[in-house]
């Protein structure tokens, strides 16, 4: 759940700051990228060197390092983060956050952050119970921040009661559970196909196409972000996913058909974005074909139409999405394919549109649903196009 997520950990002046070392280790172990910001008082309890060593990143303590001339850009740090955790969050810092005070790097990054913010208070019992502290906490909640409530126990003062920082394991578990709760496709199994297929002519040559797989990989990654359990069946491609998914590599159209059939029945959503060959050689030469003649021909046969085959197998409740790459009469062919192959959505892109098609970082799409309702989008990066496609699929899951 935290794999490759960027997390800023803010550490405030509290004896509980020693727990931040364990927290960093747990976040790193979960696959996150962690950057730590210490307040000036926090450095009295735990050293930047300790946290830099554990996080494998420099630790930030102030806006400007006079000795090195390095400026810590609070805006860039805020934009970098997928999540921000302030643990321990002292009464002082909670007050500053609640009232928009910005006299240190941590609060400046907080005010710049666009991501979800979690704060785990740590303070003595009387400070925790004070009305001003509780009002500040209520204000932070109203701002949309999420509290990781403190535990009860023996405190540094010797008092016993609320105010003890949640244990690092509890903080990580809370974070993961909260992320999961906001994932609309949690528990759904999604099958995505991507890339081209290669149809062998001989041991050296093949028939293929220009598909890079970028669109399919972007969709698979977005589905993971939405909480789905994703299987990606991909033809030959140099594309990689930074996320942990079930990747199945195939070569030919028959390979892809076999893999799709293996996963189809247990899938809730199927997005068929691969560019599968329509024809394959009837016979594959066992040895490299020599170029002896000036003319050369190959007898071809049709491959199985994977999308149509899955459309016939589709059960009630399953969602099947197809793609149509056209060069003429685009909308007519797309709608015909949608109906003929029993699809729930079809994503149309035209090679006539600039910035659309194979091997480009961008795409321009039009989506039709089973009621033939048309939704058009502007040219966007394929990662953003994937978000649009998944958003249309989400509409079907809520019907």
Query: What domains appear along the chain, each with residue ranges and CATH number?
Result: 6-181 (3.40.50.1950), 189-397 (3.40.50.10300)
What pLDDT does 190 receive? 97
What pLDDT does 69 receive? 63
User: What is the rounded distance in angstroms from the CA atom of residue 377 to the CA atom of residue 365?
Assistant: 6
User: What is the rounded distance in angstroms from the CA atom of residue 295 to the CA atom of residue 290?
Assistant: 12
Strand partners, 34: 7
Residues of the chain with pLDDT under 50: none
What pLDDT does 68 receive? 64
Burial class of residue 275, CB neighbours in 10 A (0-12, 13-18, 19+): buried
351 by DSSP, 3-state: which?
Answer: coil
Taking alpha carbons only, the member of 309, 348, 295, 343 closest to residue 325 is: 348
Instruction: Determine contact, residues 114/143, Cβ cutoff 8 Å.
Output: no
Structure tokens at 78: 């805020």
Catalytic position from the list 209, 261, 342, 369 = 209
What pLDDT does 1 receive? 76
Measured between its terminal Cα atoms, the distance across the chain in Å is: 27
> Annotated catalytic, 209?
yes
Question: pTM for the complete prediction?
Answer: 0.75
């Amino acid at each position: 759940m935290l794999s490759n997520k960027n997390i800023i950990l803010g550490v405030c002046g509290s004896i509980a700051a020693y727990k931040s070392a364990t927290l960093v280790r747990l976040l790193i172990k979960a696959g996150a990228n962690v950057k730590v910001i210490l307040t000036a008082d926090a450095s009295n309890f735990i050293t930047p060197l300790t946290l830099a060593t554990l996080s494998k990143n420099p630790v930030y303590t102030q806006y400007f390092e006079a000795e090195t001339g390095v400026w810590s850009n609070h805006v860039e740090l805020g934009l970098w983060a997928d999540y921000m955790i302030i643990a321990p969050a002292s009464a002082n810092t909670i007050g500053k956050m609640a009232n928009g005070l910005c006299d240190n790097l941590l609060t400046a990054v907080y005010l710049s952050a666009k991501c979800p913010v979690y704060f785990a208070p740590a303070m003595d019992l009387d400070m925790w119970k004070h009305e001003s502290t509780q009002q500040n906490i209520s204000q932070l909640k109203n701002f949309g921040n999420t509290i990781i409530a403190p535990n009860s126990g023996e405190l540094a003062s010797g008092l016993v009661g609320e105010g003890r920082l949640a244990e690092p394991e509890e903080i990580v578990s809370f974070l993961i559970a909260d992320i999961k709760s906001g994932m609309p496709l949690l528990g759904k199994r999604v099958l995505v196909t991507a890339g081209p297929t290669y149809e062998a002519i001989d041991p050296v040559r093949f028939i293929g196409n220009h598909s890079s797989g970028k669109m399919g990989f972007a969709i698979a990654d977005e589905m993971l972000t939405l909480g789905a359990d994703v299987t990606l069946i991909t033809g030959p491609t140099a594309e990689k996913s930074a996320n942990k998914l079930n990747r199945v590599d195939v070569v030919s159209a028959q390979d892809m058909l076999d893999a799709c059939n293996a996963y189809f029945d247990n899938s809730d959503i199927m997005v068929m974005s691969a560019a599968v060959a329509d024809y394959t050689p009837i016979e594959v030469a066992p040895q490299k074909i020599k170029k002896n003649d000036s003319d050369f021909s190959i007898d071809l046969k049709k491959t199985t139409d994977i999308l149509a085959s899955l459309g016939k197998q589709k059960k009630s409740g399953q969602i099947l999405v197809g793609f149509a790459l056209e060069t003429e009469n685009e909308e007519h062919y797309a709608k015909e394919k949608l109906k003929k192959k029993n699809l729930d959505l079809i994503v149309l892109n035209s090679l006539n549109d600039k910035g659309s098609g194979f091997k480009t970082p961008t795409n321009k799409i039009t989506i039709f649903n089973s009621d033939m309702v048309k939704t058009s989008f502007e040219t966007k990066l394929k990662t953003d196009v994937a978000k649009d496609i998944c958003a249309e699929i989400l509409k079907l899951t809520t019907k």
